[in-house]
Amino acid sequence: VQPTSFEYQRADSWDEAVELMQIWQGEAKIIAGGQSLVPMMNLRLTLPAALIDVNGIGDQGGPRIEDSAEAPVLVIPALTRHATVLTSPVVAQHAPLLQHAVRLVGNVRVRHRGTIGGSVAHADPTGEIPCSVLALGGVVRMQSPRGVRDVPITEFFRTYLTTAAEDDEVVTEIRIPSSVGEPWAFDEVTRRFSDFATVAVAVQARAGRPTVVLGGVADRPLRVADDLVGNVDVRDEAGLDSAAGAVADSVNPEGDVHASADYRRRLVRVLVRRALTSALAPQDTKGA
């Protein structure tokens, strides 16, 4: 399989990338790691007239902490490779959920090329990175001819492979409030090691209240309504069962060649229960 022909242009800064995107008036696509875009072009699911290669911009020093008035913010430049997120001590400390989730993305080749900005912009509803970034909260920073804007991650994912980004907007940073010391868990079921998840669950607690995000059950990473899980007490087995059941009842997954809708719903029940327990059980009872 081969893509149709396209123009190739390099941008060595985000300003230049924005300028080129404007010139192509919605007909061009950014190429970052190429790990999702190139297969889609080969299958002719997308036919850009031009590719704007932003790899020359680099990862701008990789993940860093920015102190703000409220709380420290973990800033991850868009071109940070999955492999860098995986080994970053800053991510380990400030967003361990994300680091754990990245471990489960694809294989070693994919993790060395794929970028966090590409993963978030691609918006795969089963993607480990979109799910964990949504659970952590924060904003997607974008740049366009109209300037810079921050879109809350809760408003970013719209539907399958579709986001709040306009045609001429590029993602420059993912900005996540630090979650130092806060409980978290990530779990998923895949058909084979390194496959995309059939169902994934990310849990991030802040100030004792968990946020639960599901992958693989909707047209986008799905944040579970807070009232279903916000007050769950993991020491109360019946309460935990009923919360996991309520979450499973609240989703409306589609069936496909990998799993039926019913099986996906059952996975939600099991994974949510397991992830909430893993995140929130007092240390001395974990694994008991």
Report whether 212 contacts 190 (CB < 8 A).
Answer: no
Is 171 a binding residue for ligand FAD by CB under 6 A? The answer is yes
For position 216 contacting ligand FAD by CB under 6 A, the verdict is: no
Q: Which residue(s) pair with 171 in the sheet?
A: 142
For position 30 contacting ligand FAD by CB under 6 A, the verdict is yes
Using CB under 6 A as the criterion, what x/- string covers residues 194-213 for binding ligand FAD?
--x-----------------
Which range, of 30-38, 64-72, 201-209, 262-270, touches ligand FAD by CB under 6 A?
Answer: 30-38
Query: Smallest distance from the beta carbon of 170 to ligand FAD, in angstroms?
Result: 4
Separation between Cα atoms, residue 140 and residue 169, nearest integer Å: 11
From the list 28-36, 68-76, 237-245, 271-279, the region that binds ligand FAD by CB under 6 A is 28-36
- Identified binder of ligand FAD from the candidate list 20, 36, 94, 280, rule CB under 6 A: 36
**How far is it, in rounded angstroms, from Cα 144 to Cα 280?**
41
Q: Does 168 engage in binding with ligand FAD (CB under 6 A)?
A: no
Contacts of 281 (CB under 8 A, 6+ apart): 234, 235
Is residue 32 close enough to count as binding ligand FAD by CB under 6 A? yes
User: Binder to ligand FAD among 83, 90, 92, 110 (CB under 6 A)?
Assistant: 110
- Told to check if 115 binds ligand FAD by CB under 6 A, we report yes
Encoding tokens for residue 283? 């240390």
Task: With beta carbons less than 8 A apart as the criterion, state whether 36 and 127 touch.
Answer: no
Pick from 74, 76, 78, 243 the residue near ligand FAD by CB under 6 A.
78
Of 2-10, 111-119, 175-183, 221-229, the window that binds ligand FAD (rule: CB under 6 A) is 111-119
Spell out where 102-180 has E strands.
139-144, 147-152, 157-159, 162-163, 170-177
Instruction: Spell out the residues 6+ positions from residue 203 whose beta carbon is closer than 8 angstroms to its own.
Output: 97, 135, 183, 184, 185, 186, 210, 211, 212, 213, 275, 276, 278, 279, 280
Q: Binding to ligand FAD by residue 34, rule CB under 6 A?
A: yes
**Counts for the chain of helices (H) and strands (E), in that order:** 11, 14
> Judged by CB, which is closer to ligand FAD: 34, or 245?
34
Q: How far is the CB of 218 from ligand FAD (least distance, A)?
A: 15
Q: 101 with 195: CB under 8 angstroms? A: no
How many Cβ atoms from other residues are within 10 Å of residue 190's Cβ?
16
Choose, by CB under 6 A, the member of 105, 133, 174, 212 that binds ligand FAD.
Answer: 105
Where does this chain bind ligand FAD (CB under 6 A)?
29-37, 39, 78, 105-106, 110, 113-115, 117-119, 121-122, 124, 127-129, 170-171, 196
